Amino acid sequence: MKKERDYTTLEVLSIAIKAEIEAVRLYERMKETSSNPDLADKFDFLISQEKHHQKILTEAYHKKFPEVELQPPPKSLVPSISEVLEREASLKELFEVAMQAEKKSEKFYADLAGKTNDPNSKSLLHYMASMERSHLAILEAEHKQIEMGQDLNSDEFLTGERLMNLGP
């Protein structure tokens, strides 16, 4: 079995920054693909989260390596993001890639948190892992609605459409 190599701090930050940049691109594409205003709001939230994470990681990079120019790696943590962004893809396909990316990102951060002895790095990596887990939960909930064939928005709920009679 091939042993996974340990990454340097510079590599970790570069890989993570690249993953956040790609996540922004993916969520922007998902927003463009969707016609649902409530779903667009969720994508806006996810975009802002990923941009914030990119900022945190970039600041950490520049603080740790002030003399080293930031060059995100050409290869992605989740290669399927690049592949799906280069072609026409359905919203369902985009969701599946996004969920895969969030799972891989969470695992990446959690695994690294378990390997470091630096308390600041450990804290940042655990935070990043938990944020990726929360993004996955949002995506799973919305994906489930798509799987059920329901592209729900709040206007329909406000007019009483698609509601069950729950009371007497």
CB 78 within 8 A of CB 22: yes
Q: What is the pTM of this model?
A: 0.80
Domains of the chain: 9-150 (1.20.1260.10)
pLDDT in tens, 110-152: 998 888 888 888 898 899 999 999 999 999 999 988 777 655 4
Q: What b/e string do you get for 79-101 counting C-beta neighbours within 10 Å, with b at 16 or more?
A: ebbeebeeeebebeebbbbbbbb
**Amino acid in the structure at residue 35:** S
Contacts of 69 (CB under 8 A, 6+ apart): none
